[in-house]
A and B are shown apart, each in its own frame.
Chain A
C-alpha cells in the first residue's frame, strides 16, 4: 500500500506522564474509510493515543498527521476529528436537540439547515422524536446514540470512539456493534475505535493495532492477526491458543523440522527469519485446528496421545482439555457439536488422540 492512502499517520509518537511512559515510539498509519481499532488491556496506552489524535493530549515526541496536515499546533476545536467519549459527555443542561446541534454553531450554518440536519441525525441513530428529552431521561444506550449523532453531524474526517460500548450489557452491545459497522459503511468516515474486548475488535474492524505497554505489537487485519500473529503475546491475546516449546532441527524448502516438548518430531511451515537451525522457539496451534479422536487416525496425519482432563459443553461447541506427557499445560481443543457426538461419549481420564494438519502450526519467536 502506498503512502498516498495514509489518512492518519503517527510518526514515532511517544507520550510521557512524568516518569510514566504511556506511549512508546508508536508509528503506524490508518487509511481513509477504515474501521480501525486500538486493542489492548487497560494501561496499554490506547486511550492516550486516541486522546492525542483528538488533541486533548500532546505527544511528548513525534508527530501526528491527519490528511497530510501536521497536528502539533492544532488545538482540539480546530481539528478535523470528533470524539465519542466513554461516558458520552451529554450536556445535562441542554436537551437532545441542543446537544446534537451544539457543534454546528461553529460551522456557520443557518437555523433552518441546522434543524434539518438534526432531524436527519436523529433518524440516522434511530432516535426520532427524542429531541426534547434531557440527559437524565435517556438510557445508557440512548445517550450513546446521541453522542454519536452529535459527533457525526459535524461530518468529521475522522471519528474517534473511546470504548463507547463498554457500559452496555452484552445483548445491547452486540446490537450496537452491528449498527456501528453498518453506520460506518454507509457514512464512509474513518473510524478509530478503542476497546479492550478482542471479540469486539475482531467483529468491527478492517484493521487492528494490538497494543501493550505503550507499544504496538502488531497492526493487521483481523484475519491476519488471528492466523498469523507475530508474537506469543499477540497470539495469546486474540482468541485462545496452545503453545509448545520446540527446537529447530532442520530447515529446507520452506518447512522446518522441530523437536517439540511432548509432541516429539513435528513439521511446520517456516517462513520467517528467526526459524534457523538450533533455534529455540514456540509452536502455536489454535484449539479448533486440533482434532480429537479416541483412536489414532489412519491417514498418517501428525498425532500425539494424551489424556482427557476436562470437557465443557457450550451449546454450539465443546471445549476439551487434554494433557500430554512432556507438556506443561493441557491442550485446549474446540470441536463443533456434530463432530463430538459422532464418537462414543468421552470419559474423564480416557485416552485420546490429538491430530493436526502441518500448516495449522504457527512458529513464533521466544520473547
Chain B
C-alpha cells in the first residue's frame, strides 16, 4: 500500500496540463527576447541571424533614457508613499479593534477591481478642474492610488503572521511605542516592507493607461514605448527594451513574492 494518501496520488494528465499551461503562459512573452536578437527589421519567421544591434540602437536613444529616468523617479516616489500608507493601514487593521473594519478594507482595496480607465478619467477631471497641470506628479499620485491595495495586502499578511504579544512584550519590558516599533516591529516586518516596495515599484514602472491620461510633457517609459509603436522600423528596438524590462520586473516580483513569506511561520500555504 502506498504511503501517499489516496486523494493525493500524482495525477498524470493534470500534471501535463499544468506544464502546458505554464508553457502557454510564458511562451508568447518569450518571443520578445527571441526576436530582439533577430537580424531582421520585420518581426517574422524565419530567424535570420543573431545580432545585438537593436540593443545598441536602444542604448543610444536619448529620449528613451529620459523616459526611463522619469519612470524610475515616479516609481520610487509612489512606491515609497504607497508602502508607508500600506504599513500604517495594515498595522491599524490587524492590531486594533476598529468597528466597520471589513467595509473599510473593501474601500481601500477597491482600486484593484475598478477599471483603470474609470479612475484615470475621474482623476483627470479632478486635476484639471482644480487647475493643476498634468505632469509626473499627477502620474505619481495616480500610481499611489492603485498601489496602496497591493502594499496593504502584502503588509497585512506579514502582520497577521506575527504575534501581537511580541510588541506587548517589548512594551512590557520598558520600551516606548517608538522604541518598540524600531526594535521589534520594524525588524519583523522588514521583509514585508521590501516586498511591498518592490511590488509597488513594478506596478508603477509598468503602468500605462493612467500615465497616458494623467501625463504631461514628460513621458514615462510605457508612454515612450507606446509612441514608438507607430513606427515599424523602431519595433525591434522596442523589443530589445521590452525584453530587458520584462526580465528585470520578473526578477523583482519573484523576489518580492518570495520575501513576503520569508520568516513568517508557514502555518498555511497560499498567499
CB distance from A254 to the nearest CB of B (A): 50
Question: Known: A87-B165, A91-B184. Is A81-B172 also a contact (CB below 8 A)?
Answer: yes
| Cα(A274)–Cα(B8), bound, Å | 67
Question: Known: A91-B184, A93-B188. Is A85-B169 also a contact (CB below 8 A)?
Answer: yes
B184 touches A77 (CB 8 A): no
B166 touches A150 (CB 8 A): no
Q: Which residues of A contact B97 (CB under 8 A)?
A: 17
B165 touches A106 (CB 8 A): no
CB distance from A109 to the nearest CB of B (A): 11
Looking at B166, B169, B172, B179, the one whose CB has the most chain A CB atoms below 10 A away is B172
| Cα(A85)–Cα(B177), bound, Å | 19
CB distance from A86 to the nearest CB of B (A): 8
B175 touches A77 (CB 8 A): yes
CB distance from A200 to the nearest CB of B (A): 21
A300 at the interface (CB under 8 A from B): no
Question: Known: A92-B188, A93-B187, A93-B188. Is A77-B171 also a contact (CB below 8 A)?
Answer: yes
Q: Which residue of A lies closest to B162 (CB)?
A: A92
B184 touches A150 (CB 8 A): no
Q: Which residues of A contact B174 (CB under 8 A)?
A: 77, 103, 105-107, 154
Among the listed B168, B173, B187, which residue makes an inter-chain contact with A106, where contact means beta carbons less than 8 Å apart?
B173
What is the interface of chain B mostly: helix, strand, loop, or mixed?
Answer: helix
A28 at the interface (CB under 8 A from B): no
A83 touches B188 (CB 8 A): no
B173 touches A91 (CB 8 A): no
B169 touches A89 (CB 8 A): yes
CB distance from A82 to the nearest CB of B (A): 6
A75 at the interface (CB under 8 A from B): yes
Question: Known: A77-B175, A77-B176, A89-B163. Is A102-B168 also a contact (CB below 8 A)?
Answer: no
Within 8 A of B (CB), among A42-82: 54-56, 75-77, 81-82
Interface size of A as a range: 20 to 34
A77 touches B188 (CB 8 A): no
| Cα(A56)–Cα(B173), bound, Å | 12
CB distance from A283 to the nearest CB of B (A): 46
B184 touches A82 (CB 8 A): no
B163 touches A102 (CB 8 A): no
Q: Which residue of B lies closest to A150 (CB)?
A: B173
B53 at the interface (CB under 8 A from A): no
Question: Known: A87-B163, A89-B163. Is A154-B173 also a contact (CB below 8 A)?
Answer: yes
Q: Which residues of A contact B165 (CB under 8 A)?
A: 85-87, 89
Among the listed A17, A83, A87, A107, which residue makes an inter-chain contact with B172, where contact means beta carbons less than 8 Å apart?
A83
| Cα(A55)–Cα(B169), bound, Å | 11
B70 at the interface (CB under 8 A from A): no
Among the listed B166, B171, B179, B263, which residue makes an inter-chain contact with A75, where contact means beta carbons less than 8 Å apart?
B171
A76 touches B188 (CB 8 A): no
B188 touches A103 (CB 8 A): no
| Cα(A364)–Cα(B172), bound, Å | 42
| Cα(A233)–Cα(B187), bound, Å | 48
A103 touches B168 (CB 8 A): no
B170 touches A102 (CB 8 A): yes
Q: Which residues of B contact A76 (CB under 8 A)?
A: 168, 171-172
With contacts A76-B168, A83-B169, A102-B183 known, what are 10 further pairs, Cβ within 8 A? A54-B168, A76-B172, A83-B172, A85-B165, A86-B165, A91-B184, A93-B187, A102-B170, A150-B169, A151-B173
6 chain-A/chain-B pairs, Cβ below 8 angstroms: A85-B168, A87-B165, A89-B163, A89-B165, A91-B166, A106-B173
The 3 closest A-B pairs by CB, nearest first: A103-B173, A106-B174, A89-B169
